[in-house]
Each structure stands twice: as structure tokens, then as C-alpha cells.
């Protein structure tokens, strides 16, 4: 009885660890000459970002649903924040 409970708990722990690793976000940033490159993969969004320091040229490629991710300075992924909107009431119609 105790052996089967320990075995079942061990299987549960391994399953949770594996699923967490499979859903983990990936971010890699590296430099090659004048180019700074970044790659992000997580939450159904994948993007690659490249920028040339010398010329200021930049490239962004996005795949998937990246609506909740903003590319920050240096290609760093940041969560998108909804912007507040100012609503002015219309004057009454006479």
C-alpha cells in the first residue's frame, strides 16, 4: 500500500515538473558584431528581434498571438498594459 502511494506521488511530481518545463518561456539575447539579436518563445507567441547599432536598422518577426507582449528596450519581452482612456461627456443637446 505505502509503496503504491509513494510511486503514485512520484509520478505526479514528475508529471508536474515535465509540464512546467514544457510551458516555460524562453528568452535569449546575444550580440554578433554590430547586431544585437533577441528571441522570445512563450505563451503562444514567438518573435525574433535584431538591431544594428551602427546604422539603427531593426527587424522584428512575430508568429502566433503576441497581443499581450510588448518588445521592450533591447528586445526584452514585457507584458502589455492597457492604456487608460479619457472620456469627456458630450454637451447636452437642446
pLDDT in tens, 47-85: 898 999 999 998 989 898 888 888 877 777 888 877 677
* Residue 11 placed within a domain: no
Please tell me whether the overall predicted TM-score, pTM, comes out greater than 0.85 for this model.
no
* Residue 2 placed within a domain: no
Q: Which domain holds residue 57?
A: 23-79
* Residue 86 placed within a domain: no
What is the spatial distance between Cα 77 and Cα 56, in angstroms, rounded to a whole number?
20
The cell numbers describing 55, all together, are 546604422
Closest residue by Cα to residue 27 from 7, 42, 10, 8: 42
Closest residue by Cα to residue 45 from 71, 16, 81: 71
pLDDT band at 91 (very low <50, low <70, confident <90, very high): confident
pLDDT of residue 21: 42
What is the spatial distance between Cα 7 and Cα 54, in angstroms, rounded to a whole number?
58
DSSP state of 34: T
* Residue 17 placed within a domain: no
* Residue 69 placed within a domain: yes
User: b/e per residue, 11-49, with b = 16+ CB within 10 A?
Assistant: eeeeeeeeeeeeeeeeeeeeeeeebbebbbbeeebebbb
Number of structural domains (the chain) is 1
* Residue 8 placed within a domain: no
Q: What confidence tens digit (pLDDT) does each residue in 6-49 have?
A: 554 444 433 433 333 445 688 888 998 999 999 999 878 898 98
* Residue 1 placed within a domain: no
* Residue 59 placed within a domain: yes
Amino acid at each position: 500500500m505505502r509503496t503504491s502511494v509513494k510511486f503514485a506521488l512520484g509520478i505526479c511530481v514528475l508529471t508536474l515538473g515535465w509540464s512546467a518545463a514544457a510551458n516555460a518561456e524562453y528568452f535569449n539575447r546575444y550580440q554578433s558584431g554590430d547586431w544585437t539579436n533577441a528571441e522570445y518563445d512563450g505563451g503562444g507567441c514567438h518573435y525574433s528581434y535584431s538591431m544594428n547599432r551602427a546604422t539603427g536598422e531593426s527587424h522584428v518577426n512575430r508568429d502566433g498571438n503576441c497581443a499581450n507582449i510588448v518588445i521592450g528596450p533591447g528586445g526584452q519581452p514585457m507584458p502589455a498594459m492597457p492604456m487608460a482612456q479619457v472620456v469627456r461627456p458630450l454637451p447636452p443637446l437642446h
